[in-house]
A and B are shown apart, each in its own frame.
Chain A
Amino acid sequence: MSTSDRPLFVLAGTDGGDLRSLEDYRRVGGYVSLEKARQMGREAVLEEIKKASLRGRGGAGFPMGQKASFLPSPEQAHGPIYLVVNADESEPGAFKDREIIVRVPHRLIEGIQIAATAIGARACFVYIRGEYLSEYEILMAALAEAGSAGLVSVPIVVHRGAGAYICGEETALLESLEGKRGMPRPRPPFPALVGLYNEPTLINNVETLATVPKIIEIGGGAYAKIGVESSTGTRLFSLSGNVVRGGNYELPHGTSFRELIYECGGGIAEGRKLKAIIPGGSSAPILTADQVDMSMDFDTLQKAGTFLGSASVIAIDERACMVQLGLRVGQFYMFESCGKCTPCREGTRWIEMLLRKIEEGRASYAELDLLVDVCERILGKCLCPLGDSDAMVVASYVTHFREEFEAHIDQGGCPFGGSSSLKGLLSPVDELYRGRIHQEAAR
């Protein structure tokens, strides 16, 4: 089966191009589902979403129908109910929400309106990451067009972030939207009861909402037949790393990594060998090349000790030094830790420092053990998964590539010499260090 024969939902009708204008979107049946949903009534719409077993596409994979069922009904609620759209896509490896906004902004708007009507929302807020400037402009243009066509009955406010990975975490996002620093809230209470401005709030990812119009169109039962049992429907897989053709590919859940990497992506560039696969963005523990036939669905990956996350697949070829990769990934979590919980704030720094020592050949075996120990001490002790992500992925690099870590210690330096594909990289954390060294030298 070639890619074009596959059922397309999120990108349906794009045919390799863009469907930015209302006219183009209408031509492929756009906004018909919204009309249908309004006639069905809110409970029937929620029932279809439940039947579809639509799991959240942002990373956590929580069923949308179930999440929506935690909300009070508009009659029960004492104040307004809000819908918040998470468009703060910042997971390293993920670039799918951006593609949805650029190519089919109206499908997102339609999904938002269907969901907002179904939960009886008074207003919707789209939190889009600050760096997505062109995407913001495209979304605003589509919104203006939909608004003047009378398609936006629940008002939508588009709110731009200002550069903070943590704001993709739903409670940090709410804090940020309220004009505070993006620091996660303790749960419970969950946002469904105490969310934005302390009101009941449903938070969903862009791709999740952009899937809703097709579910209403074909029915939840029909949608649930696509994919595999625990992971229904299609997914926009973001493929990156050392492949010939990186990009987003909409495929049914249950497709193998091999198909994505070799058929869609054209295989590993320059005929090199695959070494490792990051299955769900940099926060997902790593897999090795021999796991390439694994099915890409929530349950299979969970059983393998990792997760599908945002379905961002990073293929890594044989030239990568796994200690360097761990260090770069670790620097990201250190840089992005909001600093609220001590195990994350301090632990991410310890991980970075120890990985740096190992990479530079200054570490002992005791420090490799300490690295694993620090990872264990972060796990499960924070309000959000940022620190856990750092701990789990670094521990997975050590587990799967221990001999490389040990070789750094034995040889007193990087066994790749200067030949690693990651050689010569610098990160914002390095810039901070360097800035500090300059300041100290100037004193």
Chain B
Amino acid sequence: MAELYDEIRAVADRYPDRRSAVIPALRLAQEHYGYLPPEAIREVAAALDTTPAVCHQIATFYDMFHLKPTGRHTIDLCSNAPCALVGAGKVLEAFERELGIGAGETTPDGLITLRTVECLGGCGRGTVVAVDHRYREPVTPADVPGIVEELRREH
């Protein structure tokens, strides 16, 4: 993909050392492919004049990179202590019930992936839920059907 190659080269130019661009480059590739299949990692490596192994070790280290396809939409629920204290467990149960899947799973139609994540940095307004990377705070069990409906409608 020539376009992806050019985008990565442009990002790399911002840094004194091209290798600094591995994370932003992988993010661009993930936006193109939806996840990071081996060919995406090879393309990133080629654009940064490095090896796929260098890029692969980054893709596996950081939580926001996905080596397997995820749903079209993602629901990331903070399950860390501050949110847990104010009822994140009940919000998670509500999502699991509404979606018919467990945390860490994707709906059979491939539409929504539900995950529990570590602290998102919204502790004063828990429970924090990132829907397609945009924070909703606070989310209560009563908000859950509306959020799921919104994603289904958008589709």
Spell out A's residues near B (CB within 8 Å): 80, 89-95, 98, 123, 129-134, 157, 159-165, 176-182, 197, 238-242, 246-248, 278, 282, 312, 314, 316-317, 320, 325, 328-329, 332, 335-336, 338, 421-428, 430-431, 434-435
Say whether B111 faces chain A, with CB atoms less than 8 Å apart.
no
> Which listed residue (A163, A242, A328, A427) contacts B64, Cβ 8 A?
A163
Instruction: Please tell me which one of the listed residues B14, B19, B92 contacts residue A157 in the complex, with CB atoms under 8 A apart.
Output: B14
* Interface, chain B (partner A; CB < 8 A): 14-17, 19-24, 26-27, 54, 57-58, 61-65, 79-82, 84-90, 92-93, 102-104, 115-126, 130, 133-135
Q: Are A425 and B84 in contact (CB under 8 A)?
A: yes
**Contact of A242 with B103 at beta-carbon distance under 8 Å, contacts A163-B63, A332-B80, A428-B79 already known:** no
Q: Known A160-B27, A241-B82, A328-B81; judge A131-B103 contact (CB<8 A).
A: no
Given contacts A95-B123, A133-B133, A425-B92, contact A178 B118 (CB under 8 A): no
Q: How far apart are B68's CB and chain A's nearest CB, in angstroms? A: 11
Inter-subunit contact B104/A435 (CB<8 Å): yes
Look across to chain A and name the residue whose beta carbon is closest to the beta carbon of B22.
A179
**Which of A312, A314, A338, A435 contacts B85, CB < 8 Å?**
A314
Which of chain A's residues has its CB closest to B104's CB?
A431
Q: Give 14 new A-B contacts, CB below 8 A, not counting A95-B123, A159-B23, A182-B61.
A: A90-B118, A92-B118, A161-B23, A162-B26, A162-B62, A162-B64, A163-B62, A163-B63, A163-B64, A165-B119, A181-B58, A239-B124, A320-B85, A421-B86
* A157 and B15 contact, CB distance less than 8 A: yes
Find chain A residues with CB under 8 A from B117 CB.
428
Contact A165 B118 (CB under 8 A): yes
Report chain B residues within 8 Å CB of A328.
79-81, 84
Cross-chain contact A248 with B124 (CB below 8 angstroms): yes
Instruction: Give the residue name and chain of the A residue nearest to B116 (CB).
Output: A426
B82 touches A93 (CB 8 A): yes
Give Cα A314 to B17, complex, Å.
40
How many Å lie between the Cα of A441 and that of B2 in the bound state?
43
B16 near A197: Cβ-Cβ < 8 Å: yes
Cα–Cα distance between A424 and B92 once the two chains are bound (Å): 9
- Taken together as a complex, chains A and B put the C-alpha atoms of A92 and B126 apart, in Å, by 12
Q: How far is the CA of A409 from the CA of B50 in the complex (A)?
A: 54
Chain B residues with CB under 8 A of A123:
16
21 A-B contacts (beta carbon < 8 Å): A89-B121, A90-B118, A93-B119, A95-B123, A98-B122, A123-B16, A131-B133, A159-B20, A159-B24, A160-B24, A162-B27, A179-B19, A179-B22, A179-B23, A240-B124, A242-B86, A246-B124, A314-B82, A328-B81, A421-B85, A424-B90
